[in-house]
């Protein structure tokens, strides 16, 4: 698809894998889902406090990898 603009749904942004990054597509889970109530409530820490956001953990880990 020869277009000077990206598609609105993200399709064909990767010419070798045109569906990668496309909106409304299913993603494969690496691990089974794990919710506090087995349905939709996010897990809590052992002290019953909310777990930190994944982005916070990622930034912390990568910031300390160079040391």
Instruction: Write out pLDDT tens, residues 12-64.
Output: 888 899 888 888 888 889 999 999 999 999 999 999 999 999 999 999 999 87
- Predicted local distance difference test score (pLDDT) of residue 52: 93
Measured from the Cβ of residue 1, the count of other Cβ atoms closer than 10 Å reads 7
The answer to whether the predicted template modeling score (pTM) of the entire model surpasses 0.75 is no
- Predicted local distance difference test score (pLDDT) of residue 64: 75
- Predicted local distance difference test score (pLDDT) of residue 35: 94
Rg of the chain in Å (alpha carbons)? 18
Please compute the mean of the pLDDT values over residues 3-7 and round it to a whole number. 79
Residue 1 has pLDDT above 60, yes or no: no
Spatial separation of the C-alpha atoms in residues 62 and 51, rounded to whole Å = 18
């Amino acid at each position: 698809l020869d277009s000077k603009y990206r598609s609105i749904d993200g399709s064909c942004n990767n010419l070798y894998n045109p569906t990668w990054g496309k909106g409304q597509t299913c993603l494969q889970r690496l691990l089974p889902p794990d919710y506090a109530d087995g349905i939709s409530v996010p897990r809590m820490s052992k002290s019953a406090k909310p777990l930190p956001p994944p982005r916070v953990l990622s930034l912390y880990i990568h910031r300390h990898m160079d040391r």
